[in-house]
Amino acid sequence: MALSVNNNALSKSYALQHQLSWQEVVVRIFLLIFCLFGFLFSLQLIESLFRGHSEMFTNQFGQAFSNPLLGLCLGLLATATVQSSSTTTALIVATVASGTLQLSQAVPMVMGANVGTTITAMLVAFTHVYNKRQFRKAFAAALGHHFFNILTLILLFPMEYAFGLLSGTATHLAELFSTGSTDGQSFLSFAIKPLLAWFEQQTGGSVLIPLFTAVALLPASVFGFSAVLKGLVIGSAQQLIEDKVFGEPLIALFWGIGLTALVRSSAATTSLTVPLVAGERISLKKSLPFIMGANVGTTITALLASVSRSETAISIAITHLLFNLIGVLVLFPFPNLRQKFVWLVKRSASKLTTNRSNAFLYLLLIFFVLPVALLYFGLK
């Protein structure tokens, strides 16, 4: 009886948390549409800039684009800096659509972006640094996301370099899904492109004004979209997520995909697991399927960015999806393998957090020192 009363009370609390007035709903819908419009406009603006000055960009960055390892470092460093793989991959899609980047050059950048986005969960883990036990568990949760992307990279980067596995598969799939034309009555041609033409006319052919506008608008629209939905999907449903999301591995996987596709930020949803693991509300083992699902869910941004663009742009978006999906298919179906992966993460976290400064040095080394050094000596 007591259990029934508690469950009823919990259900009522969930219902109360989700009640929104119609005014709030309208405002949220308006903000989401505004952020989506800003996102698509910024991508079209970037594509136009690259298309108009492709020779200059290619001459300046051709060496980095042509070397897969340097492209990997560039994607990692850019994403670690802005803390959003959605922003980086969307920018890569726009660059590919402009013809400045080839698909084979862009794939390593997408791989690097997947690793770079794991810095956010690590930074969240450092909020627990003054409690050694909590910090060890929090850092383990962050390492779960980080190691999953690293291991996927170790598996797929050589196969892409040697055989073009991801880019070749993505190209064939893009041919199946592409309409063969990018000039139909799409949302881009109906709304975005006329606004772009007007904006370019007002700026009088300037490069700096559109560049600064795009650089500011792209991350602002991504983070704005994330913030509007995060407060609704994550914040108000915090207790529901703790109780219901991390039960069965398959359920956790699909929750990770769904929530991240809505929020459009794997950094946000994977960071959610850090305080839960640190506070021992869920185990590291239970958080892993959710993290893997979040990696798949974040690919929605690149897929959205590729809509109504070239087959090559669609291919790079599919490549992003394949990279994360293959990582899930390698690890998720095998409980024993997942258990060994969790053991590796726990052991590594224990070693790195014995002296807490080591964890910070690891973060600096992987996300900044190593990629900057490789870029410097590779471009020299």
Q: Alpha-carbon torsion 82, 87, 93, 95, what sign?
A: negative
Question: Is residue 121 within 8 Å of residue 363, measured between CB atoms?
Answer: no
Looking at residue 271, its pLDDT comes to: 76
pLDDT digits (tens, 9 = 90+) for 192-201: 777 777 887 7
How high is the pLDDT of residue 105? 87
Report how far residue 118's alpha carbon sits from residue 365's, in angstroms, rounded to the nearest whole number: 14
* pLDDT-based confidence at residue 232 (cuts at 50, 70, 90): low
For 12-28, what is each residue's pLDDT tens digit? 444 434 455 667 767 77
The predicted-structure confidence for 326-378, as pLDDT tens digits, reads as follows 999 999 999 999 999 999 999 999 999 998 899 999 999 999 999 999 988 87
CA dist 234 and 227 (Å) reads 10
Average pLDDT over the chain reads: 79
* pLDDT for position 18: 47
Pick from 145-159, 197-211, 243-257, 293-307: least confident: 197-211
- The C-alpha atoms of residue 88 and residue 85 are separated, in whole angstroms, by 5
Which one of 88-92, 223-227, 357-361 scores highest in mean pLDDT? 357-361
Is residue 27 helix, strand or coil? helix
Helices 85-98 and 266-278, axial angle in degrees (round to 10): 160
For residue 61, name the pLDDT band (cuts at 50, 70, 90): low
Q: Which of 115, 95, 118 is nearest to 105 (CA)?
A: 95
According to the model, what pLDDT value does residue 137 have? 94
pLDDT for 191 equals 65
pTM equals 0.75
Count Cβ atoms within 10 A of the Cβ of residue 25 and give its class: 0-12 exposed, 13-18 middle, 19 or more buried.
exposed
pLDDT band for position 238 (cuts 50, 70, 90): low
Q: Which stretch of 32-46, 152-166, 279-293 has the lowest confidence by average pLDDT? A: 32-46
